[in-house]
Structure 1
Amino acid sequence: MGRLLLRVAAGVAAVIALFWLLSVIIGLLVWVVMIALVVGVVFLGVRMLDSESSGR
């Protein structure tokens, strides 16, 4: 009985660790995508302002 309980506890701990690792990876990916979007918008804005000022 004790060994079965230990095995179930180890399985539950492994599943929790796996989901925690997945959530960390997905969170990091979300941060990377958000930073890339902000950098892209700033870059496009600078290019638009530059082309507008050189056009006149």
Structure 2
Amino acid sequence: MGRLLLKVVAGIAAVIAVFWILSMLVGLLVWLVMIALVIGVVFLGIRMLRTEARR
């Protein structure tokens, strides 16, 4: 009975660890996408300002 309980607890801990790692990776990916979007918008704004200044 004790070994079975230990295996169940170990399995639950493994599943929680996998989901925690996946959530960390997804969160990091979301942050990277947001940073890339902000940088892209800033560069686009600078480019538009330069073309307006030439006219």
Pairwise TM-score range, normalised by the shorter structure: over 0.9
**Aligned equivalent of 2:23:** 23
Moved over 3 A (4+): none
**Aligned equivalent of 1:37:** 37
**1:13 aligns to 2:9 (yes or no):** no
Residues in 2 aligned to 1:24 and 1:18: alpha-carbon distance in whole angstroms: 10
Question: Which structure 2 residue ranges, 5 or more long, are not aligned?
Answer: none
Residues in 2 aligned to 1:50 and 1:18: alpha-carbon distance in whole angstroms: 48
What is the aligned residue count?
Answer: 55
**Aligned equivalent of 1:4:** 4
The root-mean-square deviation of aligned C-alpha atoms, in Å, is: 0.4
Report the Cα offset of residue 32 of structure 1. 0.1
- What TM-score comes out, normalization by structure 1 length? 0.96
Equivalent pairs: percent with the same residue? 71
